[in-house]
Chain A
Amino acid sequence: MKRLTLILLALFLVKSPAFASVDWESKGMQIAGEIIANPAGFFYDFQQDLEGTTPLPPGKSFGFQMGLFPTLIPVTYTNISGKYRLHAEGRIAPGVPQLDLIGGYWDMLAAKMATKDSKSIDSAKFGGYYMGAIMSTSVSPRVRTFWGYKHSQLDAKLKFKAGEQPTLLGTTVNSFDTGFKDDFFIAGIETPRSIGKLWSIQLNYGLKTQTFSSKVSWYGKYFELGLNIYPEGVLVVHPVWNFHLNF
């Protein structure tokens, strides 16, 4: 059945006459314009792909995570995230939720390479971090809800060498310094998909910038697959692949 579904879907997508009338060039220009209008927002969506915002599995004390796609490959975000359980569910008293600390850091490798190899770029820094806490509670043997807070920050700085500055619409650009930071509210639910495999869906909402996203994830012992949806982003759907280890 799965194979049949995929074949039917592929046939629909490839053969659909709908695509014959799409103006891809115009669409590409629109996307490029949106990136130029808000570069920090565009790069921040990738940061959200690597952020580990689900609770640790029951019985685990700490964990590590690394975003593989689309973060490490192709946008060269070298990254590491961690989770630490402060309190296991019901340990202090029955009904007291599990509480995890979360956090992570990333640095864009391509920005460092550009500084090293480029004749015009003097220095470049693209990086960010996040930290927060997730509270989770079982509402039935097969369902956990989780709530959380995270503070996320992204810095994007670029400085051009003297005499090598580019011009944009007649103005010489010496450098740019932009970024993104916000405090997010997180709410989600987690349920088993099969033995040792979990499925979750969550909402992340930025209180100041009103940036929001929805993450749908499937994860097992080592890997997490996901579809992150940024309805107001440039690239609305991000397929995500992360590696994690929990102990």
Chain B
Amino acid sequence: MKKIILGALITAGMAGRLCAAVAEDSKIFTPFFDMTLSEAAFLPSEGNIFSGGNMNTQVGLLTKVTQKDHIFGLYNFNYTGQGFTPQDSKQFTDRSMSHGFNIEYRRSITDRIRVRPGVALTREYRRTGANEVWKNGLYNMNSSGAQLAADYTFSEEKNGYVTVQYLFRNVKFPNYTDLLSEFQNAGNTAETSGGLQDQSMTQFSLRPSWNQFFAGLTLTAQNYKNQKVVANTGVYGASKQKDSDTALDFGFHHTLWIFELSPMVSYTMHTSNQNFMLYKFLGDTSPQFGEKYYDFKELALSVPLDLNVTSKWAVGGALNMTRRAYDKRTARDANNNFTSSKQVNTMTTLTGSIRKRINEVAMVRLFASIMVANSNNKFEKYLPYSYTGKSFGLAYQLSY
């Protein structure tokens, strides 16, 4: 689920990044290209070494129909490979691949106001360490929808503008089924447990930016079409699941002498009406009930710093920290019993790197990281919660 919200946040973020793709006066067509690639080896404190990478390619074309009317088309290929991930998100070996298509019409109302209606289509494939065929992934997702954004420029000198965006997505998980329900109803040949993740999502965002400082307020609502809320009796009730997120973020990118700093902080409040029944084994007759199990507050901090030793070379580092505190979910002990303390997960990564600018559009970076994941949840039969890890790798970026 976090993936969908992330995808939507990326869309909201792209509104700022991509509206920077401006038409050159002399051209009818202006291309947009951005490719980032990283590959790294990961060594967790428990388990063997593995490799994983991330690849993101955006290719777009901005067409100037008239001086005031532009059309922007964008294709986005994204691959997220194996790697360390925050607790309660996914396994190290999970991978995802997505194709996103976005077409936007841009109309300048005045010199300072521009509106951008658009449509979007996304196909996402996910696979686990079992290496199933991409099209068979249990959590494969199709999403389609539209958005309307408006930009108001309040300072041309300092590139100050505010973007307001509303988007809607219809999200379907064509392969998803509740395997436990199907197992329990083995005699029923009809499809009874599909479509439980299908949902509609709406998002509103407000993003001001000025002099390379930026901030944002993002409100997201997810309404499930079929998934019901489980009651403390262990039976699904009549009400359907509804999730919402409120996210605030702030950051900047500035260079002072040889120091290039681009910190970012975000705070997310997630709420859901969904509860949780903890069955310790198949056929458990006295399951434990977790009320409002998925509500949490999450703080994410990222502080990358590069020291530009020469015009081409930089040495740098980054501190990344994520802390998630659940509102009502209590941590479990090693025997899978709820304790009295609320569950808190933290993940901290410290990275050192050497960066070389190949020219004005390309750069390469060698990096090495150490990370520490901590949680008061001691039940780690299926997913690790407290561990350390090391990674080192290579990253390229080329953008035009």
Q: Which A residues are within 8 Å of any B CB, using their own CB?
A: 1, 5, 8-9, 12-13, 16, 18, 21-23, 26-27, 37, 95, 137, 139-140, 142-143, 145, 187-189, 191-193, 199, 201, 203, 205, 210, 212, 214, 216, 227, 229, 231-232, 236-237
Contact = CB atoms under 8 A, between A and B. Distances in A.
Contacts of A95: 29
A216 B37 contact: yes
A76 B59 CA distance: 36
Contacts of A193: 358-359
B400 A26 contact: no
B18 interface: no
A231 B53 contact: yes
A233 B362 CA distance: 26
6 contacts: A1-B310, A13-B392, A22-B49, A142-B360, A214-B35, A216-B37
B37 A229 contact: yes
Given A137-B31, A143-B400, A232-B95, 14 more contacts: A1-B309, A5-B354, A16-B390, A26-B48, A139-B400, A142-B361, A187-B57, A189-B33, A191-B362, A201-B35, A201-B396, A203-B57, A229-B53, A237-B39
A143 to B, nearest CB: 5
Interface of B: 29-31, 33, 35, 37, 39, 43, 48-49, 51-53, 55, 57, 59, 77, 79, 81, 95, 97, 125, 131, 134-135, 309-310, 313, 354, 358-362, 366, 368, 390, 392, 394, 396, 398, 400
A141 B390 CA distance: 42
B35 A199 contact: no
Contacts of A236: 39, 51, 53
Contacts of A232: 95
A18 B48 CA distance: 11
Given A5-B366, A18-B43, A191-B398, A203 B53 contact: no
A194 to B, nearest CB: 9
Contacts of B366: 5, 9
B37 A191 contact: no
B319 to A, nearest CB: 19
B59 A187 contact: yes
